[in-house]
Amino acid sequence: MKVLIIEDEPALRSSIQDYLEQQGYICEVATDFKQAIYKVNEFDYDCIVADIGLPLGNGLDIVKELKLLESAAGIIIISAKDSLQDKLKGLELGADDYLTKPFHLSELNARINAILRRKNFDGNTVIHFNEISIKPHSKIVLVHQRSITLTGKEYQLLLYFIANQHRVVTKSALAGHLWGDEYDQAGSYDFIYTHIKNLRKKILEAGGEDYIKTVYGTGYRFG
């Protein structure tokens, strides 16, 4: 899952990014309002963590922009202000949650997980797709109740496919989801083919069906 961190304080921004990447998220960052507006208009994210107080603008205006764009991203507002008015305004504008600084990174992670489960998987703590079961909290993947071992990219790829089942997913969307800002530097999509090949092989070896279908010239469909 891909997260955008909008935070101007370098130490906090770096701490959030490092922690969430250790949890398996693909993280991108924006350090001011202008950069944040550009990113939310150009790229898709699963969740956005936005500080209210930003250089060149206000984080609440980013929430407004996301709603104008009809973005499906989860939104968590963070702020040093422990103000009921700020919280209510953020939630009324469409934010999903609000955290007051300072906060524990584990709590931020838990709230991101809760939002993603609610938005993508109806709030379920275990995700089921036919014979495939995923336990996001422990990152355990089962096929016919048999555990399979996936790399971080394969796990993110499977989650993304299930969240977008029966839809055609373009190769560029997959690349952006797995690599964030760096995907356009790859020069080809060979790395996607490799991850898909390995994911398909592991599911088949565990007795699962081949749900990954190639849509020639476009991308893939799962389901």
| Torsion angle in degrees (nearest 10) through CA of 149, 183, 165, 93 | 120
Of residues 29 and 159, more confidence is placed in: 29
Q: What is the DSSP letter of 182?
A: G
Among 71-75, 98-102, 161-165, 180-184, the least confident range? 180-184
d(CA 77, CA 85): 13
Its CATH class, for the domain covering 2-121, is: alpha beta
Specify the pLDDT at position 91: 86
pLDDT at 213: 93
pLDDT of residue 120: 74
* Domain limits, the chain: 2-121, 127-222
Q: Does 193 score more than 80 pLDDT?
A: yes
- One fold for 2-121 and 127-222: no
For the stretch 53-67, pLDDT in tens is 899 988 899 999 998
Give, rounded to a whole angstrom, the gap between the first and last alpha carbons of the chain: 19
Say how many C-beta atoms besides its own lie within 10 A of residue 34's C-beta: 13
Answer yes or no: is pLDDT of 176 > 90.
Answer: no
Span 97-105, average pLDDT: 90
What is the per-residue pLDDT for 187? 56
At 123, list the tokens: 């709030």
In the prediction, which pLDDT does 115 show? 87
Task: For Cα atoms 140, 144, 148, give the angle at the middle one, nearest 5 degrees.
Answer: 40
The token pair at 42 is 């150009």
Which percentage of the chain shows pLDDT scores above 70? 95
pLDDT of the residue at 181: 60
CA 74 to chain centre: 9
**Closest listed residue to residue 213, CA positions, set 152, 150, 169:** 169
Secondary structure class of 50 (helix, strand, coil): strand
Model confidence band, residue 5 (pLDDT cutoffs 50, 70, 90):
very high
Name residue, tokens 């010239």. 217
Q: Which two tokens stand for residue 61?
A: 């205006």
Would you give the DSSP letter of residue 188? S
SS (H, E, C) 90-155: HHHHCCCEEEECCCCHHHHHHHHHHHHHHHHHCCCCCEEECCEEEECCCCEEEECCEEECCCHHHH
The 10s digit of each residue's pLDDT in 130-140 is: 999 998 878 89
- For the domain spanning 127-222, the CATH number is 1.10.10.10
